[in-house]
Structure 1
Amino acid sequence: MSPDWQAARRAVARRLLRRSAQAGGATPIDAASITRVLVARPNHRLGNVLLLTPLLQELERVLPQARVDVLAGPPFAACLLQGYAAVDRVDTLGARPLHEPRVLWSLWRALPGRGYTLALDAAERSQSARWAVTRSAARWRVGMVDGDAAGLTQAVPHADCGVHQAQMPVRMLRVALGLDPDAPLPPLALRLRADESTAAEARLRALLGAADVAAPRVGVFAEATGAKRYDDGYWQALVAALRARMPRMRLAEIVPAHGRPMLPQLPGLHTAPLRAAAALCASFDLVIAADSGLMHLAAASGVPLLGLFKATDPARYGPYGARQRALVTPHLGAADIARAASDLLPRA
């Protein structure tokens, strides 16, 4: 994107925020009167949709009477969130919303009339999310701020929200409602149906055999983008170390969506579509994955998970569910990673 286009985009976003801004106030939120909630996080990456699921769980817990709409980025967001019964609708907004004027205009017209009583800016420094929350006309409009609280009625300092991208909006909501932000936080959760889990188990059983705690089934996902990517030699060394440490282990590759195996010496299963990929991950005894959208998908499936990090900060993006661990790898050898993997497996 050119600097001139970026400047124009920011100028339009500021104008939209000014036109949408309404008088804010510090009126305490009356949780019992909240009936309809807008959650805005229009990021187009897979992981960022899944990072919303702890907030959706928290809304179910603290506002069980409320119906929820989500403004997300990618079109597959509705599919991923279909297990959340409180979610009525999922709107999507692309990475460059000004390139989609019809979508933007439709949202502009619709948001104020939907009857929101609470709107949550669940993104970190997103002009699109702040615009949507401001435009929603909700009685209470909550967001995380460093200084600019335009359009909000409740501005929660970033310092009160922590740093993890899945936990920040949960803590923000708790602060706004006067609840303890440090209480245990929900993990990522993609709610799979029984039939999805059964089908995935059948696929994995056909490839590796039945589940056996003495011969664990371990899935490896080797794809990542940019600086998060590990080279072929790294994965070959890791596969050798895993086999040396756990000789009875049954390894398989979780093949990326593009369909090209990264570890052709291993049996492999393709990952598309997304919910089927999540169910497949959940069928393994352990998944080892480079930092990627699939890593977040595996985390949301609930499987024991070892996420490998070398470019991004796991304090912001790492898995944190039960028996899920982020490992910073630049100074670790293959044997160290194999040891960490074995520690996450159930014991015979």
Structure 2
Amino acid sequence: MSVVRKINNYRRNIMRSLTKNVGKPTMQDDFILVDKSEIKKVLICRPNGRLGNLLLITPLVQEVAEMFPNCKIDLFVKGTLAPIIFENYDVIDKTIHLPKKPFKSLVEYSKVWISLKKTPYDLAINVDQNSSSGRLAVQFSNAKYKFFGDSGEEDIERKSDFEHIAKYPVYNFRNYLSKLRLPTNSNKIIAPLDLKLTSSEIADGRKKLSEITKNDKKTICIFTYATGPKCLSEEWWEKFYSQLVTEYKNYNIIEILPVENVSQIGFKAPTFYSKDIREIGSVIANADLFIGADSGIMHLSSAVHTPTIGLFSVSNMKKYEPYDNCSTAIDVNLCTKKEYIKTINSILNNGRLDIYSRAI
């Protein structure tokens, strides 16, 4: 582990220790929310700038928007990706950005926190109960109702998919609302990740994909990169890619390249490269299957509703696996060649659910 990572881990542990009791106990136990229309201004706090983590809050945003149809939402985040990801969410009023490097932007950093205090909110929500900054943001906000992200009750964890990082914030939020005596459907299916691509974006993605393939065959997209230990070796990918080429001669196999412009298969497949998240998403949205390791691009594939196979080697599958639309996760430490092919065939044979219509 690098020195920088050790320092960051040490810092996080200290902050979690200092903030774990923020919001506990709460004086809001006697609050009752009688009228949903009372909630008009909501703050959702996820002070993280990574692509995957921001996409993973889209189910919660959809839940809040559905529960409070008259509300507008401000997002408290880090970095500049959120406006791109939530570009087509009408419910989002504005995004409040923490600078990526606060110690180099202390004045801007302070102004952002002060703005939370100045803006009156009806409801403030922390997405991740383990986020120190998220808990502090809710505590610091000027909101009548404050939800710090805790489950509150042990029985909520009995749900089979509770551990998933996109789902447990929704379950926890529903539990919080029930304490406010607001009727909720605890068994309702959690919404999928959603980038909300437009029909014109889908059409542009289809055109770009056609320019690469120059044929009418169906397409399998692969993403061979991931950060740190999540990145599978070149040897692993070379072998896997050879299997794909052999088994799926009637499919195009396209590699989506990371911003680093590297390939674990030595650029043997036709490639697509872009730094535009929505453009990458529009291309993947026109594919019939996406295969890649746990990464932001894997979650992007889920968010454009392409059937996705997540390849896991070290990450917690139950926490990060792609879901919905025939998507699944595979533990590469346990899976055999036959099992890979069986999983891929099962998805390809069932076909994709075209939430994004390609008949434009």
Scaled to the shorter chain, the TM-score interval is 0.7 to 0.9
SS at match of 1:204: helix
In structure 2, C-alpha distance between the alignment counterparts of 1:110 and 1:237, rounded to whole Å: 52
From the superposition, tell whether residues 158 and 125 of structure 1 become closer, same or farther in structure 2 (CA, over 3 Å): farther
Q: Which residue of 1 aligns with 2:329?
A: 326
Task: Compute the TM-score of the two structures, normalised by the length of structure 1.
Answer: 0.87
Of 156-165 and 201-210, the range deviating more from structure 2 = 156-165
Aligned 1:110-121 pairs, distance under 5 A: 110-121=115-126
From the superposition, tell whether residues 11 and 248 of structure 1 become closer, same or farther in structure 2 (CA, over 3 Å): closer
Q: CA deviation at 1:226?
A: 1.6
Q: Which residue of 2 aligns with 1:231?
A: 233
Q: Which residue of 1 aligns with 2:358?
A: none
Q: Which residue of 2 aligns with 1:172?
A: 172
SS at match of 1:345: helix
| 1:36 maps to 2:38 | no
Of 163-172 and 25-34, the range deviating more from structure 2 = 25-34
Q: Which residue of 2 aligns with 1:58?
A: 63
From the superposition, tell whether residues 64 and 281 of structure 1 become closer, same or farther in structure 2 (CA, over 3 Å): same
From the superposition, tell whether residues 8 and 156 of structure 1 become closer, same or farther in structure 2 (CA, over 3 Å): closer
SS at match of 2:175: helix
Confirm or deny: 8 A CA contact 1:246 1:342 kept in the other structure: no
After superposition, the C-alpha distances for 1:55-83 in whole angstroms (9 at most, x for unaligned) are 11111211111000011122111111111
In structure 2, C-alpha distance between the alignment counterparts of 1:280 and 1:87, rounded to whole Å: 25
Q: For the aligned residues, what is the CA RMSD?
A: 2.8
In structure 2, C-alpha distance between the alignment counterparts of 1:308 and 1:105, rounded to whole Å: 40
Aligned 1:1-348 pairs, distance under 5 A: 1=4, 2=7, 6=11, 10=15, 24-30=28-34, 31-94=36-99, 97=102, 100-145=105-150, 156-157=152-153, 160=156, 162-178=162-178, 179-211=184-216, 215-263=217-265, 264-346=267-349
Identity of aligned residues (%): 24
Counterpart amino acid of residue 340 in structure 2: I
Gaps of 5+ in 1: 146-154
Q: State the number of aligned residues.
A: 334
Counterpart amino acid of residue 156 in structure 2: D
SS at match of 2:255: strand
After superposition, the C-alpha distances for 1:31-73 in whole angstroms (9 at most, x for unaligned) are 2311110000112221100001001111121111100001112
Confirm or deny: 8 A CA contact 1:218 1:286 kept in the other structure: yes
After superposition, the C-alpha distances for 1:113-158 in whole angstroms (9 at most, x for unaligned) are 322101111013111111111111211101233xxxxxxxxx7347
Task: Compute the TM-score of the two structures, normalised by the length of structure 2.
Answer: 0.84
Q: Which residue of 2 aligns with 1:152?
A: none
In structure 1, C-alpha distance between the alignment counterparts of 2:8 and 2:88, rounded to whole Å: 41
Q: Which residue of 1 aligns with 2:356?
A: none
In structure 1, C-alpha distance between the alignment counterparts of 2:115 and 2:79, rounded to whole Å: 19
